Copies of this chain bind each other. A is one copy, B any other.
Amino acid sequence: MLKKLSAEQLERLLEAGVEEFALHGSAGANMRAIAERAGISVGALYKYYDGKDGFFRACLGRSLEALEAVLAEVTAEEAGFKEYARRIIRALLRFSREHAGYVRLYCTLAASGGEEAVKLAGEIEGITARLYTRYIAAGQAGGDLRRDMEPGMFAFFFDSLLMMVQFAGCCDYYRERFRLYCGGNPEDQPDRLERELLKFYESAFTFEEADVSHRETV
């Protein structure tokens, strides 16, 4: 890696890459278009990155770093489940507003197949998987969360909805889908989304068979 591209230029380059890859996929992206969008020459792009694949991975890395940073920041502080969930929801909604390209790229990556995708899944999802699962298990141990659930499974459901909400804020298809179900866009009604999602989570995670044994299951 040479050192002559200014930090700002590198920034622009990665942003351009993220956007182009998110828009057209790894195969459909156009290296020349990326360079132009970033205002640098293709030659420079190839000096700094090792071909299209290498650059794609760099863009991906960039996106995932940013995502992880947000999550790390949010999950650093201890909090009760509801508050914890609220913070994550808010952070991710803000993230998809501010870094739509990153989320789009993440979505594109997740849809792509192959060894590479598997490897990246391990790197990216491993952290949150462990984090959420442990947190839920701790909640169970502490008596705050229902005991008749598998922490891993419920962590999976928890994270899945967060992913979907993010995609709904950034990716055309998921955005339209959200409109059909809920009306409007996620970023225009963060409070409503937060409220309903929290409600959903709260009861799913705290409900106990025993508490409702008198009710007729539907």
List A residues at the B interface (Cβ < 8 Å).
Answer: 22-28, 80-82, 104, 107-114, 117-118, 120-122, 125-126, 129, 132-133, 139, 144-146, 148-150, 152-157, 159-161, 163-164, 167, 171-178, 180-183, 192-193, 196-197, 199-207, 211-212, 215, 217-218
Q: Smallest Cβ distance from A214 to chain B, in angstroms?
A: 9
Q: Give complex CA distance A214, B159 in Å.
A: 29
Q: Give complex CA distance A174, B159 in Å.
A: 12
Which of A22, A121, A133, A171 has most B Cβ within 10 Å? Answer: A121
Query: What residues of chain B lie closer than 8 Å to A129, measured between beta carbons?
Result: 177, 180-181
Does the CB pair A154–B82 fall under 8 Å? no
Q: Smallest Cβ distance from A4 to chain B, in angstroms?
A: 14
Query: What residues of chain B lie closer than 8 Å to A111, measured between beta carbons?
Result: 25, 107-108, 110-111, 171, 173
Besides the contacts A149-B196, A205-B218, what 6 more A-B pairs have beta carbons closer than 8 Å?
A114-B172, A118-B175, A150-B182, A152-B182, A153-B197, A202-B217
Q: Give complex CA distance A181, B181 in Å.
A: 27
- Which one of B24, B146, B211 lies within 8 Å of A211 (CB-CB)? B211
Q: Give complex CA distance A64, B25 in Å.
A: 21
Copies of this chain per assembly: 4
Which of A178, A181, A206, A217 has most B Cβ within 10 Å? Answer: A181
Q: Give complex CA distance A118, B80 in Å.
A: 38
Q: Are A206 and B212 CB-contacts (below 8 A) given A133-B181, A139-B218, A161-B157?
A: yes
- Which one of B81, B121, B133, B218 lies within 8 Å of A172 (CB-CB)? B121
- Which one of B117, B125, B182 lies within 8 Å of A180 (CB-CB)? B125
- Which one of B108, B206, B218 lies within 8 Å of A206 (CB-CB)? B218
Q: Give complex CA distance A183, B132 in Å.
A: 15
Q: Smallest Cβ distance from A171 to chain B, in angstroms?
A: 7
